[in-house]
Amino acid sequence: MYKVHKSFDFCYGHRLMDYDGPCMHPHGHNAKVEILLKGETLDKRHILYEFGELEDQVKGWIDKNLDHKMLLRKDDPLVKALRELGEPVFLFDTSPTAEAIAKLIFDYCIEKKLPIEEIRVWETESSYAGYRKD
């Protein structure tokens, strides 16, 4: 089994609805996303997946959709106010937890037909949430 691992950094703000603790207030993170790919075979270049192509496809999507955006649940009252101010917002059906962000990126990779094994989203240097289909 071949494996490829690539990491990207991005910044985002969020808050968690229906949560009792400090994360119920708007705050930000300098996140790291780890992409883990796996496969049984290599392409004609003897590569499972080229690092630069991952940068273009996945990091490009993250930069466009999540980086320096406020990630909010679609029914969060902040959505209207931020949009009225012209602030960039990305909406989730659920609270925008690290778990939800990991699944969002995983689903994007599936859509792009990447041989994805797992996505990890590090909210801090010591804490990450991941998503994989077992």
Top CATH class of 2-131 equals: alpha beta
**Residue pLDDT, tens place only, 87-119:** 999 999 999 999 999 999 999 999 999 999 999
pLDDT of residue 134: 81
**Residue pLDDT, tens place only, 30-63:** 999 999 999 999 999 999 999 999 999 999 999 9
Q: How far is CA 130 from the centre of its chain?
A: 10
Query: Does this model's pTM top 0.85?
Result: yes
Short-list 12, 11, 13, 15, CA closest to 75: 15
**With pLDDT > 70 as the criterion, what percentage of the chain qualifies?**
100
pLDDT of residue 28: 95
- Distance (Å) of CA 27 to CA 7, 15, 110: 23, 6, 29
